[in-house]
Amino acid sequence: MRTIPGSTHHQHPDTGQPGRSGLGIRIAIGIVQGLLLYGLYREAAAHSDFARNSLVFVPLLLSALLVPPLAVVGITQLPGRRLLLWGAALAAVVAVLGYHDAWRQLDPAALAARQSGVLTSYPSMRAVQAASAILFIGFALILAGETARRAFAPYPAYFRLSWKLGLQLHLAGLFAAVLYLVLWAGAALFMLLKLDFLQLLLRDAWFNIPVVAMAFAAGLHLTDVRDDFIRGVRTLVLTLLSWILPVLVLIVAGFLLTLAFRGLAPLWATRHAGMLLLAVIALQVVLVNAVFKSGQEDEALPRALLWSARAACLTLLPLAAIAAYALALRIGQYGLSERRVLMAACLAVALCYAIGYAWAALGRGAPLQRMAPVNVLTAWVMLVVLAALFTPLADPARLAVNSQVARLLDGRVAPQQFDFSYLGLRAGNYGLQALARLQAETASPQAAAIRELSAQAAQQRGPDGARAPQPAPDAATIAANLDLRTPGRTVPPSFLANDWQQATPRWRLPACLTSRTMRCDAYVLALTAQDTPNVVLFPGTNANGSVFGQDAAGAWRLIATVNIGPDCTAVREALAHGTFRLAPPVLPDIEIGGRRLQLEDARHRGVGCKL
pLDDT in tens, 498-508: 888 776 677 78
pLDDT of residue 142: 92
The CA distance from 411 to 449, in Å, is 12
Share of the chain above pLDDT 70, in %: 87
pLDDT of residue 120: 53
Query: Which residues on neighbouring strands pair with residue 355, listed in sequence order?
Result: none
More confident residue, 566 or 43: 43
pLDDT band at 4 (very low <50, low <70, confident <90, very high): very low
- CB 97, CB 62: distance < 8 Å: yes
For the cut 80, the answer to whether the pLDDT of residue 18 exceeds it is: no
Alpha-carbon distances of 313 from 309, 356, 372, 381, 408, rounded to whole Å: 6, 9, 13, 19, 42
pLDDT of residue 527: 86
Across the chain, mean pLDDT equals: 84
Alpha-carbon distances of 458 from 112, 142, 518, rounded to whole Å: 17, 46, 20
For the cut 90, the answer to whether the pLDDT of residue 318 exceeds it is: yes
pLDDT of residue 67: 94
For the cut 60, the answer to whether the pLDDT of residue 119 exceeds it is: no
pLDDT band at 112 (very low <50, low <70, confident <90, very high): low
For the cut 90, the answer to whether the pLDDT of residue 24 exceeds it is: no
Q: Which of 196-210, 241-255, 288-302 has the lowest mean pLDDT?
A: 288-302
Angle of CA points 44, 46, 48, to nearest 5°: 75
Mean pLDDT of 89-96: 94
Radius of gyration of the chain (CA): 30
Mean pLDDT of 5-24: 51
For the cut 60, the answer to whether the pLDDT of residue 29 exceeds it is: yes
Long-range CB pairs of 153-157 (<8 Å, 24+ gap) are 155/294, 155/295, 155/372, 155/373, 155/375, 155/376, 156/294, 156/295, 156/296
pLDDT of residue 609: 57
User: What is the CB-side half-sphere exposure of residue 56 using CA atoms within 13 A?
Assistant: 11
pLDDT of residue 553: 82
The CA distance from 180 to 56, in Å, is 31
For the cut 80, the answer to whether the pLDDT of residue 159 exceeds it is: yes
Mean pLDDT of 39-56: 86
Cα 160–chain centre separation: 29
Residues 6+ apart with CB under 8 A from 53: 116, 117
- pLDDT 10s digits, 326-383: 899 889 888 999 999 999 999 999 999 999 999 988 877 666 788 999 999 999 999 9
Exposed / middle / buried, residue 31 (Cβ in 10 Å: 0-12, 13-18, 19+): middle
- In which element (H, E) is residue 525 found? strand 520-525
Report the SS3 class of residue 547.
Answer: strand
For the cut 50, the answer to whether the pLDDT of residue 463 exceeds it is: no
Question: How many Å from the N-terminal Cα to the C-terminal Cα in the chain?
Answer: 79
Residues 6+ apart with CB under 8 A from 185: none
- Rounded to two decimals, the pTM is 0.73
More confident residue, 355 or 470: 355
Share of the chain above pLDDT 90, in %: 38
Query: Which residues on neighbouring strands pair with residue 525, listed in sequence order?
Result: 534
pLDDT of residue 7: 39
pLDDT of residue 471: 65
pLDDT of residue 278: 93
pLDDT band at 567 (very low <50, low <70, confident <90, very high): low
For the cut 90, the answer to whether the pLDDT of residue 591 exceeds it is: no
User: What is the CB-side half-sphere exposure of residue 429 using CA atoms within 13 A?
Assistant: 20
The CA distance from 437 to 408, in Å, is 13
Mean pLDDT of 185-214: 90
